[in-house]
Amino acid sequence: MKHATPLLLAALGLGLTTSAAHAQNAALTARITTLAAAEQAKVVAWRRDLHEHPELGNEETRTAQLIAAQLKSLGLEVHTGVGRTGVVGILRGGKPGRVVALRADMDGLPITETTGLAFASTVKTTYLGQPVGVMHACGHDTHVAMLLGAAEVLSQVKKDLPGTVKFIFQPAEEGSLPGTVGGAKLMVQEGVLENPKVDAIFGLHIWATAPVGQLQYRPRGEMASSDRFTVKVIGKGSHGAKPWSSVDPVVTAAEIITALQTIVSRQVDLTQDAAVVTVGTVQAGVRYNIIPPDATISGTIRAFSPKTQEQIWAAIKRTANGIAAANGATAEVGIEPYVPVTYNDPALTARMLPTMQRTAGASNVVEIKAVTGAEDFACYQEKVPGLFIFLGGMTPGTDPGTVADHHTAGFKVDESAFPLGVKTLATLAADYLSQK
């Protein structure tokens, strides 16, 4: 070697450094794998406690207290009351570096549970003036538990982390009351991605119809945008026996509902973009034989591009106003943008794909088609590169057609999914921070 050139020596030195770095990363991944498996009992216990005590959006006070206490016990810097009831924990690694965020949502839904689980929710409350049950019918209890598990894992390897991990526990992912700002949008407004400034963010969602052991992802547009719309039809009331004396808002609203279905089927180019227009509520009248003076419908709009969003907004207004005018009524149309498209940054997705494949096994990492559900994780992705993935929660061998869907009273997941969830969150954070 005494005749080696300086360039060759430098190259050999780089090779040794790279090999050492790979070995160090492999050792860290192996330790995270072991620690994640050891967290299972705790994660299950947290999940069951949270499942039994669900809270609606912006009311997650008990949930926040549990999270804050656990993060403080790990020695993290903890901030509470972020975005009303959100909690943020900051873990500073043993070396300087970038900042990565991991996010979990906390809120339940106004649904009365029918699962029959030993830890099923029996919580009752009032939502929009109506008595309702409360249930974790979308898996947010599992998200919190797995992120707490990841926080425990990463806190045990923090001396080897070159950078900072910010744990974001977010309220109100399912939405705030109409006309109010909440969830990810409010947390971003309050600076959750600052101090320290986040360089990238990761999140995962349990998926009831994907088998345990599987990770699903999609670069670019993964989940749809979601907007709320309302149409109030103002007519003229009358006795139900004399409809000719009225301008019937119920019949007019019914025509509008039917016509709205043609926006997607006849006006959106479905070869280029998927879209949904769904009417979810119809409110009119107080008695069977009285034609009321007005009727209100509301619903949701889903799209995968701003262009299609705007096309649908215009079509709803045009359709509602035109039909109302044809019937002698008027229409007041309101459209409230809720969340943008969940957009997985292509470069970040490609960069972290090997991490996902190493974590779950290459055959268990599946690229999927776009999902018409929506996620306000998208609000973080508008500000920093983000990657949102799905974690299988269905017992392998189960027919997906027999599985209770998200947002239904019978929703269940297989708790054996949790170690992979904890491992994935922790490994994504560690690998991102360790990469040059």
Helices and strands per DSSP (H, E), number in the chain: 10, 18
**Gap between the Cα atoms of 186 and 170, Å rounded:** 10
In sequence order, what E strands does 141-274 have? 162-170, 200-211, 215-217, 220-223, 225-234, 238-239
Q: Which of 39, 107, 227, 248 is catalytic?
A: 107
Do the beta carbons of residue 375 and residue 386 sit within 8 Å? no
Residues linked to residue 177 through DSSP beta bridges, in sequence order? none
Residues linked to residue 230 through DSSP beta bridges, in sequence order? 298, 334
**Gap between the Cα atoms of 165 and 92, Å rounded:** 6
Query: Is 55 labeled as catalytic in the residue annotation?
Result: no
**Gap between the Cα atoms of 356 and 353, Å rounded:** 5
**Gap between the Cα atoms of 426 and 96, Å rounded:** 18
Cis peptide leading into residue 6 (ω within 30°): no
Do the beta carbons of residue 88 and residue 195 sit within 8 Å? no
Q: Which of 55, 60, 152, 173 is catalytic?
A: 173
- Phi first, then psi, for residue 24 (nearest 5°) are -65, -40
Who's near 44: CB < 8 A, 6+ residues apart? 145, 415, 418
Query: Is 107 labeled as catalytic in the residue annotation?
Result: yes
Do the beta carbons of residue 62 and residue 179 sit within 8 Å? no
Which structure tokens are listed for 275?
């879209």
**Gap between the Cα atoms of 219 and 347, Å rounded:** 9
How far is residue 275 from each of residues 82, 110, 172, 338, 408, measured CA to CA in Å?
33, 26, 24, 15, 22
Nearest to 226 by CA among 390, 406, 377: 377
- Kindly list the catalytic residues: 107, 173
